[in-house]
Amino acid sequence: MKKSNQKGFSAIEAVLIVVIIAIVGFVVWYVFHTKSSTDNTYSNASNTQTAPQTSNKSSASTAAKPVVQTKTDSKVGQYLADGSGKPLYTYNQDTDNTSNCTGSCLSNWPAYKATSTASLPANVGTITRSDGTVQYTYNKKPLYYFTGDSGGQVTGNGLEGFSVATP
């Protein structure tokens, strides 16, 4: 008896095709997943805040964002900003190395939380808040953000006892 020409694949051929597709799919996923993980690691490393560079160091270290930087606004003049350019503020109720902005105050004026305490630039320090978080200071005054600021604009100066931080 002769075999007739069959249309389609035999069971073994179908299994082999599924296995090959699975292997190709895994290789593609692995390549993109590995690249994505590497990119995220680089991205996280570049967001780490470090002290501004004051000498000629390698280009890799100069790519890191500073803890504070000086910016200029037409209305307030020179002011301090974080590494991303967001304005920083001080609170007139604070004393040296002590934050008195707690509870509901922090909802509009979040503390500028320290991500690194190594190699801080001159006049920049840290305090440990009563809730255990570490906050950056400038000339011993705790630093804050204003939630009403956007796009690097300074809109909180003079509000609720807060002033834009100045160098």
Q: What is the pLDDT of residues 75-134, one digit of tens each?
A: 999 999 999 999 999 999 999 999 999 999 999 999 999 988 888 999 999 999 999 999
The CB density around residue 31, as the number of other CB atoms within 10 Å, is 10
Closest residue by Cα to residue 111 from 140, 88, 138: 88
Provide the β-strand partners of residue 46. Answer: none
Does the pTM exceed 0.75? Answer: no
Range of the domain at 152: 67-167
In a domain, 4, yes or no: no
Mean pLDDT of the chain: 81
In a domain, 146, yes or no: yes
In a domain, 151, yes or no: yes
What's 161's DSSP letter? T
In a domain, 166, yes or no: yes
In a domain, 77, yes or no: yes
pLDDT tens for 129-156 read 999 999 999 999 999 999 999 988 999 9
Say which range, 27-31, 47-51, 107-111, has the weakest mean pLDDT. 47-51
Instruction: Between 105 and 24, name the one with better pLDDT.
Output: 105
In a domain, 1, yes or no: no
For the chain, the domain total comes to 1
Provide the β-strand partners of residue 81. Answer: 69, 87
In a domain, 51, yes or no: no
Distant-in-sequence, close-in-space partners of 41: CB < 8 Å, separation ≥ 6: none
In a domain, 92, yes or no: yes
How much of the chain exceeds pLDDT 90, in percent? 54
